[in-house]
A and B are shown apart, each in its own frame.
Chain A
């Protein structure tokens, strides 16, 4: 029986194969399948944390969570069933803005045999809108109304560039941060972005055992989320509003900062309403904002780059003194220009007729260019830039805002690296009065002014208390010659108070004594794509210089820095000064300059 043998052998082989295969699955491959099995019967549901709120120094609200409701419908309803149609109809009756087909489509997309949870068809309905509808909708057992939050910025456009806004997270955000991935919302700009990690909190979760169709059988573990981690700022919302009013019809930046670095107000004008972005911005609104020639989207506080102009002169003088090469004690004679080089190129002072003999204090007061021209030739660009960097110009300030720019305080190496060209002497001369390649941000100038007022270079801070922890002021001590600094301060005092001061007109009759410096920074060129959009009449305006005024007060006991930049404002003394003066008046009225009560015994 050979045939019988063959048949038997084949069968034996089959049976052995079966047994060994089952042995392999059940015993050999344990680890791999154990993980899979666990995935299959254990489910981890995340509990989303509530995003922390942002408040100003007086606990006024800047970013809050609007409380409202979402509407959900029971799963497993047939598409054309009476129940589903009636349910949708009853919802639309209450909220006619919603499109019936879209709601049905949304329902269909999310309904599956394995889902036993109610299906969200409307994301957010405000509390006010829901009050009337709630009793009617809740009669229907197929509808479930859940509480929901949506970010809301009560201050509107008043503090957009500081607070920023949140938006739906994209793939990259999701891959970076687990909480963002689960919540679906991320801080896109401003403090919302900078402190996203704190504000978003930490996920809680619930681990449950489920059946194959996802029905919960038992709860294994639960952890509450870490949430409501608020941010309390140094910002005074009322001051922000005041400054926004003052800027009407103009564009620019104003920063009010405590000399220790606490930022009381920082306005980049014009601004926009961040609430437009929360539910997705309409294309019409977007186009209007993006085409605005005053760049509402640019956060000019930290990312607006302007030549510092004459506001650099105090720092320049201190840089000369630190370099040890040019002596500040030696007065210069200003006849209105200097000539250098073989072809006797003329570098003019702003005053056509010259300032005559100029010492340090007079050089600051009257902003004499020739004084700085002459001394720059002795010091050289490399020392100038090295010390200006030390004073906080051309470097990032470390403020707690994203996308800060460092600007430029040039030196020879920088020019070689950037333009592959050697440095020319003429460039040293124009750099000495803050023109040429020089570019700084307003926050840099404010910080540098605080240093001039206190000898300490602070790190600007918007946040005061982060999730319960107070932010400590940070600063760097800078070693400078005390006598020269004193003369410079006196020069700044003169700018605002002496009859020949460039900002005297608006700054001299204030309830507190202010010291400061004006600056004019030339608009180098207007980008082609913007030129095309401009009308002829606008051309004149947009090619006008930017006007700086940076100040501190009180003169004898500096507490606050006020830095104002008006774009295309012409001269600082006439356009920035009224704004700065109004800020000081307002602050005085609100008690910012009251002497602090001595601490109780």
Chain B
């Protein structure tokens, strides 16, 4: 049986994102002289394509299609990522030296969104061979076993964090991998070592990039009420927007901060925009749906027999969790701001389609659950 509640919850999220892409882009379209449905139509197409993928994938037989699709996605997008630094400016759109988009004329895509799924699929297919007798292994053996994955991870990190300058995605992938290791049976000692290495790597990535240091400084300044608000512009406006929303919000379409105060309000700051217009209740609602989606995914994971499917479901759930948490912690000032799309909600075709494919694959897997007696 396909998990219909999961499908329903996903569609609700997609619809919320669709509506907000219309409401929140109202300043941006004026600024760029677009028609007022510019973003809406594009998002609508993405949502339609996304739902199409969910439906098609969920119909397929997991035992026949999961592996080929996984290998296909992983190889294709790994190749693209590898090629991107080499591709000419004609095909690769770069902003501030960050080459994140591939331009195909009509559409441009963000390969890293798809690569994340491929990566999880690859990891789950490979890790399964190394489900280990817990606690009985030497650290040496452990390192030897996990080394191939670490190489993949370091390669991804290099590609995404250094060439694409996308620390957010790197964080999501690394954190997911780390937790997967833990679940697969690595020792706490090994996990701790990895965690420490991760932290060091993260620090290195931050201090080598002035704009990242600036973000951190802004974040520190945001706790200081007397700080110059131009210096903490993004974070202050985000907090102000959330506050302006109050309990029930200003009403759909009535947001003030979307009028140019919050840059990227329909993408990275969509949660602030939603909270301003629909209030604290809306974030509560969104978080509940998000938790529901994750709960359903984990439930499926717990109930499938095939360890590949188990690992993939958990990994996909973790991807969603980390993406959502990194973004929402940033916009609410708990951590420095990290530009990363909110799954299902943020404007952006690649993100919508990739998230949908993830859900489609999980729904495909959900058919494998044996009905309980």
Contacts and interface: CB of A to CB of B under 8 A. Distances in A.
Interface of A: 3-4, 7, 11, 14-15, 17-19, 21-23, 25-27, 29-30, 32-34, 36-37, 40-41, 211-213
Interface in B52-82: none
A3 B182 contact: yes
Contacts of B275: 22, 26
Interface stretch (B11-19, B96-104, B327-335): B327-335
Nearest to B325: A14
B260 interface: yes
A212 B243 contact: no
Contacts of B244: 33-34, 37
B160 interface: no
B254 interface: no
Nearest to A8: B298
B243 A30 contact: yes
B280 interface: yes
Given A18-B334, A26-B275, A34-B243, 10 more contacts: A14-B325, A18-B325, A18-B328, A18-B329, A21-B333, A22-B283, A23-B280, A26-B246, A40-B237, A212-B260
Contacts of B27: 211-212
29 contacts: A7-B182, A7-B183, A14-B325, A15-B287, A17-B334, A18-B329, A21-B334, A22-B242, A22-B283, A25-B239, A25-B243, A26-B242, A26-B246, A26-B247, A26-B275, A26-B279, A26-B280, A30-B246, A32-B225, A33-B240, A33-B244, A36-B229, A37-B244, A37-B256, A40-B240, A40-B261, A212-B27, A212-B260, A213-B260
B158 interface: no
A25 B291 contact: no
A30 B243 CA distance: 6
Contacts of A19: 283-284, 287
Contacts of A4: 183
Given A18-B334, A22-B283, A30-B246, A36 B183 contact: no
Given A11-B321, A22-B283, A27 B260 contact: no
Nearest to A23: B280
A27 B246 contact: yes
A211 B236 CA distance: 16
Interface in B343-365: none
A455 B280 CA distance: 81
Contacts of A41: 256, 261
Contacts of B284: 19
A14 B175 CA distance: 14
B179 interface: yes
B9 interface: no
Interface in B1-45: 27
Going nearest first, the 10 A-B pairs with the smallest beta carbon separation are A212-B260, A33-B243, A212-B261, A26-B280, A25-B242, A21-B332, A211-B259, A37-B240, A211-B260, A26-B242
A26 B245 contact: yes
B296 to A, nearest CB: 14
B333 A25 contact: yes
A211 B261 CA distance: 8
A29 B246 CA distance: 10
Contacts of B328: 18, 22
Contacts of A29: 243
Nearest to A7: B179
A21 B242 CA distance: 11
A7 B291 CA distance: 14
Given A23-B280, A40-B240, A212-B259, A3 B332 contact: no
A4 B279 CA distance: 33
Interface in B190-243: 225, 229, 236-237, 239-240, 242-243
Contact of A26 (B237, B243, B291, B321): B243
Given A26-B280, A212-B260, A36 B240 contact: yes
B196 to A, nearest CB: 17
Interface of B: 27, 179, 182-183, 225, 229, 236-237, 239-240, 242-247, 256, 259-261, 275, 279-280, 283-284, 287, 291, 321, 325, 328-329, 332-334
A213 B237 CA distance: 13
A18 B27 CA distance: 28
Contact of A15 (B225, B256, B291, B332): B291
A11 to B, nearest CB: 6
A3 B178 CA distance: 13
Interface centre among A19, A25, A37 (most CB of B within 10 A): A25
B368 to A, nearest CB: 20
Nearest to B240: A37
Contacts of B280: 22-23, 26-27
A3 to B, nearest CB: 6
Interface centre among B240, B245, B261 (most CB of A within 10 A): B240
A26 B244 CA distance: 7
A15 B292 CA distance: 13
A175 to B, nearest CB: 19
A40 B225 CA distance: 15
A16 to B, nearest CB: 10
Interface centre among B275, B280, B332 (most CB of A within 10 A): B332
Contacts of B260: 211-213
A273 to B, nearest CB: 44
B300 to A, nearest CB: 14
Contacts of A22: 242, 275, 280, 283, 328, 332
B221 to A, nearest CB: 14
B95 to A, nearest CB: 18
A37 B244 CA distance: 7
Nearest to B185: A3
A32 B242 CA distance: 13
Contacts of B236: 36
A3 B182 CA distance: 7
A279 B240 CA distance: 44
B287 A18 contact: yes
Nearest to A31: B243
Contacts of B246: 26-27, 30
B182 A25 contact: no
B28 to A, nearest CB: 11
Contact of B243 (A3, A7, A15, A37): A37
Contacts of B242: 22, 25-26
Contact of A25 (B225, B237, B256, B332): B332
Nearest to A18: B328
Contacts of A40: 237, 240, 261
Contacts of B329: 17-18
A23 B247 CA distance: 8
A346 to B, nearest CB: 75
Contacts of A14: 325
Contacts of B237: 40
Nearest to A33: B243
Given A21-B332, A21-B334, A33-B240, A3 B183 contact: yes
A37 B283 CA distance: 20
Contacts of A18: 287, 325, 328-329, 332, 334
A33 B182 contact: no
A36 B244 CA distance: 10
A23 B275 CA distance: 11
Contacts of B182: 3, 7
A27 B247 contact: yes
A112 to B, nearest CB: 10
A460 B244 CA distance: 60
Contacts of B334: 17-18, 21
A36 B229 CA distance: 10
B194 to A, nearest CB: 15
Nearest to B271: A22
A30 B279 CA distance: 13
A209 B236 CA distance: 19
Nearest to B225: A32
A34 B27 CA distance: 22
Contacts of A33: 239-240, 243-244
A476 to B, nearest CB: 54
